[in-house]
Chains A and B, each alone.
Chain A
């Protein structure tokens, strides 16, 4: 792409003009061309103009079951210099009301399948119902110019999209990102994977999720095609779509890859399509080294990239599974244009060989949470975003993720992170699902315990073997002396352990006993 693209609307206008008849999206088996994508977004733009006072930076919330409608909305809203606040249709209605009130939302775009039971009139903002266009019309095959005759001047540094993140902390936060953030980080990934125009990628992640939408932009920047299915992710449906639509790219969170590789009825089919996949991006939760190696084998011809970075600082580091084989126990090196440093408890930089909080600076970092001054003061210091993650940098400059500061356990005054033990046991005993947490201890304050779900069947002998495998590799205080069976290990949709919930389960158990 020779022309400099700075904003979302510039990207889609460019694509509609240059290759309008090319397929941009295949969703539920239906094609949407680049011109159609642009034309439908114009309709949404006009609908907003009719109902909302003009003004750059206004926030328009979008709730839809349709991934295509979500994309029309993002582009339509961007054309007005406004901010698309993406709300998952899985968020409870009461919380949507709260978001609309707390985040000064100017209008709510919903699709015809969203049914609110409460009275939306109480919100006192326009409720715009989006009609799905499930068929490519003749009119949409040609690119249409903007119908209002005026061009909104928007710079790349302005906020374009707001994602909601709760991650493993359970607290919902609004993270606005700029046009530049979306476009520049997508370019970096495309370069890292040497992606080409012929990309046709199946995106398994929801588009309200930062990773899913960013994957879509990686493809759109190359004029590629994305393949999507609406509704609950069904891995069998996903494999069929990949085969039917000839996908050569695939992206998703680690749990999707783990499901694909662990289920017999999926494995057989996976072996057929594995060789045809050329590009993969994985992110949003950690993977063990042996899992990365397994993915490399299942997809022998793929350039595979895994990123580390939260919604607030997406794609902070990148790791190439094939080119950086020796470094699979790390999360990679800082992406182009991103700086990473480690700091101590006082926020001072740790020079070398130390463990500290991972701090990030660069175009990939949000300018700050919306409507949360307290958190902004805590998390942003001199232009650096404090991730709350603990890590170290190895002798070759690769970042090693150790754990979350919030997850730190204090065993009689000595620090430990549950991920240290989980990571080691995960490599040695991949067949068992486990988590390390803590229980109150009479003398030590707390002690590490190994938790496993009912179906894991970790008996005393197996637990003994696990403990012995840790001896000599970890300080004795870090090795769990007890195992505790739980109904299930609470996890986010991305497969991250929700430690606050697990801790609560264990503390309740302790009280009962």
Chain B
């Protein structure tokens, strides 16, 4: 699920999502990761990767 199905997901929406994600899960996103975000699945992938690191 991504911007195609979520009308609020525009460029500002991307920033809001990135900020909220970092705040909620206390994760500091790198530019590469942030640049790849184009679906909710990408957020899940980053979460899983982060959990496996810890």
Contact = CB atoms under 8 A, between A and B. Distances in A.
A393 to B, nearest CB: 34
Interface string B1-33: 001000001111111001100100000111110
A234 B31 contact: no
A239 B35 CA distance: 9
Interface in A231-251: 231-237, 239-240
Contact of A255 (B3, B12, B30): B12
A232 B36 CA distance: 12
Contact of A235 (B14, B22, B32): B14
B11 A236 contact: no
B37 interface: yes
A476 interface: no
A265 B34 contact: yes
Interface in B24-54: 28-32, 34-38
Contacts of B11: 232-235, 255-256, 259, 493
B10 A232 contact: yes
Nearest to A232: B3
A263 interface: yes
Interface of B is mostly: helix
Contacts of B13: 232
Given A232-B10, A259-B15, A263-B19, A240 B32 contact: yes
A232 B16 CA distance: 14
A269 interface: yes
Contacts of A236: 18, 31, 34-35, 37
> What is the size category of the interface that chain A forms with chain B?
10 to 19
A265 B38 CA distance: 18
A234 B28 contact: no
Contacts of A255: 11-12
Contacts of A269: 31
Given A231-B3, A234-B14, A493-B10, A265 B28 contact: yes
B29 A265 contact: yes
Scoring B3, B28, B35 by chain A CB atoms within 10 A of each residue's CB, the highest score goes to B35
Contacts of B32: 240
Interface in A254-313: 255-256, 259, 263, 265-266, 269
B15 A235 contact: yes
A234 B38 contact: yes
A265 B35 contact: no
B36 to A, nearest CB: 8
B35 A234 contact: yes
Contacts of B37: 234, 236
Scoring B3, B22, B29, B31 by chain A CB atoms within 10 A of each residue's CB, the highest score goes to B31
Nearest to A237: B35
Interface in A186-242: 231-237, 239-240
Given A240-B32, A263-B18, 10 more contacts: A232-B9, A232-B11, A232-B13, A233-B10, A234-B34, A237-B34, A239-B31, A255-B12, A265-B28, A266-B31
14 contacts: A232-B9, A232-B11, A234-B11, A234-B38, A235-B14, A236-B34, A237-B35, A239-B31, A240-B31, A240-B35, A263-B18, A265-B34, A266-B31, A269-B31
- List 6 tightest A-B contacts by C-beta distance, closest first: A236-B34, A233-B11, A237-B35, A236-B35, A232-B3, A240-B35
Interface of A: 231-237, 239-240, 255-256, 259, 263, 265-266, 269, 493
